[in-house]
């Protein structure tokens, strides 16, 4: 009997037990006597039988698959996170499904019903705030999830995030320390909690140095970085420092500064937030508040799988990680 042709029916016949008994043993869904287990395992070993992972998942309504959901996989920060999450998931025999979807779909029941039908055991969510009704529905159908980065709410629930307020304080204070007198902030969308925290950190520093806060709301995209910088330069041509709420907007700003023949950092010093690798490739290299991407992915994945498997150890609702100021050419004034 070749390995390809071996079925659960063959295993049952060779073991002298029912198909249902073999299924129970393979899927570990109910008690099987030690004697019966030995008989079944002996036949499984003899034929080098490997259970179909999908079939096992359907039997248990589990698939050993987790998902990473984001509405913006084009942001380089998220592929770096995916790599970390996938590496950690693999260590625990879980596979990762990447779901790139639009914001509107995440707020519909149909999306989550379809998600549930795939027998995905849980998910990590980035860059979206689920509304109260959707979160209630997810609790109802018992799909565990962990929020990271911009999918962190002001209210408590399972999440892994960084100290956005402290990072913003570090960023704004750095611009003050290098001699900037008129500092602006291009914020992220004010519907997102981390964006609000980053803006609040900037405002605190401006209050401390008795300087007027200058804030323009961006969308965490390259395009909005360029657009909001253009508006900023029209309204405040004497600006000499800008803190961007993420690195993509800081990179996008370079186009606007070049158009107006503004030298970075001698005319205007700029600084971003995230720590993506692109900040090291552009010219000038951009100073940034670096998030511990690998740590975020590792902790979020472990946290999620613990929720899925209902481990006995207590699971902390929110994990808060430190950030780091990385100084580069864009804030290195002569």
Query: What number is the average pLDDT over the span 203-220?
Result: 97
Question: What is the Cα–Cα distance from 236 to 274, expressed in whole angstroms?
Answer: 26
Question: What is the Cα–Cα distance from 310 to 314, expressed in whole angstroms?
Answer: 10
Q: Note the CATH architecture for domain 3-60.
A: Orthogonal Bundle (1.10)
Q: Which CATH superfamily does the domain covering 65-162+293-323 fall into? A: Response regulator (3.40.50.2300)
Q: How confident is the model at residue 68 (pLDDT cuts 50, 70, 90)?
A: very high
Q: Which residue has the higher pLDDT, 113 or 65?
A: 65
Structure tokens belonging to residue 189:
């969308």
Q: Which CATH superfamily does the domain covering 164-291+325-331 fall into? A: Response regulator (3.40.50.2300)
Give tens-digit pLDDT for 20-36: 787 777 766 556 788 88
- The pLDDT value recorded for residue 3 is 46
Q: Are 243 and 271 in contact (CB under 8 A)?
A: yes
- The pLDDT value recorded for residue 169 is 98
Q: Is the pLDDT of residue 61 over 60?
A: no
Highest mean pLDDT among 120-124, 190-194, 225-229: 225-229
Q: Are 333 and 120 in contact (CB under 8 A)?
A: no
Query: What number is the average pLDDT over the span 224-236?
Result: 97
Q: Decide: helix, strand or coil at residue 28.
A: coil
- The pLDDT value recorded for residue 50 is 66
Structure tokens belonging to residue 256:
């606007």
Instruction: Round the average pLDDT of the chain to a whole number and report it.
Output: 86
Which of 70-74, 90-94, 286-290 has the least mean pLDDT?
Answer: 70-74
Q: How confident is the model at residue 236 (pLDDT cuts 50, 70, 90)?
A: very high
- The pLDDT value recorded for residue 270 is 98
Q: Is the pLDDT of residue 253 over 70?
A: yes
Which of 11-25, 48-62, 173-187, 264-278 has the least mean pLDDT?
Answer: 48-62
Domain extents in the chain: 3-60, 65-162+293-323, 164-291+325-331
Give tens-digit pLDDT for 74-132: 888 888 899 999 999 999 889 999 988 877 888 888 888 888 777 788 999 886 667 77
Question: What phi and psi, each to the nearest 5 degrees, are found at residue 273?
Answer: -150, 125
- The pLDDT value recorded for residue 217 is 98
Q: How confident is the model at residue 312 (pLDDT cuts 50, 70, 90)?
A: low
- The pLDDT value recorded for residue 27 is 64
Pairing of strands 287-290, 324-326: antiparallel
Stated pTM of the model = 0.78
- The pLDDT value recorded for residue 205 is 98
Q: Do 65-162+293-323 and 164-291+325-331 have matching folds?
A: yes
Structure tokens belonging to residue 91:
């260590």
Q: Are 247 and 77 in contact (CB under 8 A)?
A: yes
Burial 183-193 (b: 16+ CB within 10 A, else e): bbbbbbbeebb
Task: Give CB contacts under 8 A, 24+ apart, made by 253-261.
Answer: 253/186, 253/225, 253/226, 253/228, 253/229, 254/282, 255/226, 256/226, 256/229, 256/230, 257/229, 257/233, 259/230, 260/233
- The pLDDT value recorded for residue 246 is 96
Q: Which residue has the higher pLDDT, 151 or 140?
A: 140
Q: How confident is the model at residue 2 (pLDDT cuts 50, 70, 90)?
A: very low
Q: Are 173 and 216 in contact (CB under 8 A)?
A: no
Helix or strand holding residue 318 (H, E): strand 318-321
Share above pLDDT 70 across residues of the chain, in percent, rounded to a whole number: 88
- The pLDDT value recorded for residue 142 is 78
Q: Is the pLDDT of residue 1 over 50?
A: no
Which of 133-137, 199-203, 210-214, 327-331 has the least mean pLDDT?
Answer: 133-137
- The pLDDT value recorded for residue 298 is 94
């Amino acid at each position: 009997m070749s390995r390809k042709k071996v079925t659960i029916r063959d295993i049952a016949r060779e073991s002298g037990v029912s198909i249902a008994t073999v299924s129970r043993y393979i899927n570990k869904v109910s008690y099987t006597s030690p004697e019966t287990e030995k008989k079944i395992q002996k036949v499984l070993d003899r034929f080098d039988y490997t259970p179909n992972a999908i079939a096992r998942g359907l039997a248990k309504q589990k698939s050993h698959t987790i998902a990473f959901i984001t509405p913006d996989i084009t942001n380089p920060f998220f592929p770096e996170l995916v790599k970390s999450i996938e590496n950690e998931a693999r260590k625990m025999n879980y596979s990762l499904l990447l779901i790139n979807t639009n914001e509107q779909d995440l707020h519909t029941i149909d999306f989550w019903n379809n998600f549930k039908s795939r027998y995905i055991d849980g998910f990590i969510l980035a860059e979206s705030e689920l509304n109260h009704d959707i979160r209630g529905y997810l609790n109802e159908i018992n799909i565990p999830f962990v929020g990271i980065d911009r999918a962190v709410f002001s209210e408590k629930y399972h999440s892994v995030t960084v100290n956005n307020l402290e990072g913003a304080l570090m960023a704004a204070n750095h611009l003050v320390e290098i001699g900037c007198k008129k500092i602006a902030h291009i914020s992220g969308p004010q519907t997102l909690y981390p964006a609000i925290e980053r803006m609040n950190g900037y405002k605190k520093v401006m209050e401390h140095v008795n300087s007027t806060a200058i804030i323009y709301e961006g969308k965490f995209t390259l395009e909005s970085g360029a657009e909001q910088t253009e508006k900023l330069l029209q309204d405040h041509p004497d600006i000499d420092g800008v803190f961007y709420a993420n690195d993509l907007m800081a990179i996008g700003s370079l186009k606007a500064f070049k158009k107006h023949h503004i030298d970075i950092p001698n005319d205007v010093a700029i600084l971003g937030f995230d720590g993506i690798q692109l900040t090291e490739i552009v010219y000038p290299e951009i100073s940034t508040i670096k998030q511990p991407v690998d740590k975020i992915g590792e902790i979020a994945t472990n946290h999620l799988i613990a929720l899925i498997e209902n481990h006995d150890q207590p699971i902390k609702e929110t994990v808060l990680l430190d950030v780091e100021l990385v100084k580069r050419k864009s804030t290195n004034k002569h």
